[in-house]
Structure 1
Amino acid sequence: MYIQFLSHIISLLSIIFVHLESFADGAPVGVCYGRVGNNLPPPTAVVGLLQANGIQNVRLFDADAATLRSFASTGISLMIDIPNESLPSIASGTANSTVDWLISNVFSHIPPSQVRYLAVGPEAFVRDAFYTPYVVPAITNLHGALQSVGLAGRIKISSPQPISVMSGFYPPSSAHFDPLIKPAMIPLLQFLRDSGSPLMVNLYPYEVYVSHSNRIPLEYALFKADAEFGDSGLMYDNLLDASIDAFVHAMEREGFQGIRVVVAETGWPTACGEAAGVDNALTYNDNVVRRAVNGVGTPKRPKEEMEVYMFDLFDENERGGDEYQKHFGIFSLAGVKLYDLRFSSN
Structure 2
Amino acid sequence: MRNVQRAIMAAGLGGSVKVSTSVRFDVVTNTFPPSNGVFADQSFMGPILEFLASTGAPLLVNVYPYFAYENDPQNIQLNFATFVPGSTTVNDKGLTYTNLFDAMVDSIYAALEKAGRPGVKVVISESGWPSDEGFGATAQNARAYNQGLINHVGNGTPKRPGPLETYIFAMFNENKKDGEKSEKHFGLFNPDMSPAYSITF
Q: Does 1:236 align with 2:94?
A: no
Cα shift at 1:318: 2.9
Cα shift at 1:153: 2.0
**Hey, what's the Cα distance between the residues in 1 that align with 2:175 and 2:135?**
19
> Which residue of 2 is the match for residue 297 of structure 1?
156
Q: Does 1:337 align with 2:195?
A: yes
Unaligned runs of 5+ in 1: 1-138
> Which residue of 1 is the match for residue 5 of structure 2?
143
Cα shift at 1:224: 1.3
TM-score (norm 1): 0.56
Mapped contact 2:106–2:159 kept (Cα < 8 A): yes
Cα deviation, 1:58-114, whole Å, max 9, x if unaligned, reads xxxxxxxxxxxxxxxxxxxxxxxxxxxxxxxxxxxxxxxxxxxxxxxxxxxxxxxxx
> Which residue of 1 is the match for residue 69 of structure 2?
209
Q: CA RMSD in A?
A: 1.2
**Hey, what's the Cα distance between the residues in 2 that align with 1:184 and 1:153?**
27
Query: SS state of the match for residue 160, structure 2?
Result: coil
Q: Does 1:221 align with 2:81?
A: yes
Letter aligned with residue 316 of structure 1: E
**Hey, what's the Cα distance between the residues in 2 that align with 1:211 and 1:334?**
31
Letter aligned with residue 24 of structure 2: P
The number of equivalent residue pairs is 200
Q: Does 1:254 align with 2:115?
A: yes
Counterparts of 1:70-85 in structure 2, within 5 Å, are: none
**Hey, what's the Cα distance between the residues in 2 that align with 1:320 and 1:168?**
30
Identity of aligned residues (%): 38
Mapped contact 2:124–2:165 kept (Cα < 8 A): yes
* Residue number among 166, 172, 186 corresponding to 2:46 in the alignment: 186
Cα shift at 1:269: 0.2
Cα deviation, 1:248-289, whole Å, max 9, x if unaligned, reads 000100111121111100000010011111111111001111
Mapped contact 1:271–1:278 kept (Cα < 8 A): yes
Letter aligned with residue 327 of structure 1: H
**Hey, what's the Cα distance between the residues in 1 that align with 2:20 and 2:68?**
24
Counterparts of 1:129-140 in structure 2, within 5 Å, are: 139-140=1-2
Letter aligned with residue 149 of structure 1: A
Cα shift at 1:329: 1.3
**Hey, what's the Cα distance between the residues in 2 that align with 1:154 and 1:253?**
29
> Which residue of 2 is the match for residue 288 of structure 1?
149
Cα shift at 1:225: 4.9
Could you list the structure 1 runs, at least 4 aligned residues long, displaced by more than 6 angstroms after superposition: none
> Which residue of 1 is the match for residue 176 of structure 2?
318
> Which residue of 1 is the match for residue 55 of structure 2?
195
Letter aligned with residue 246 of structure 1: S
Considering only CA atoms, is the larger Rg found in Structure 1 or Structure 2? Answer: 1
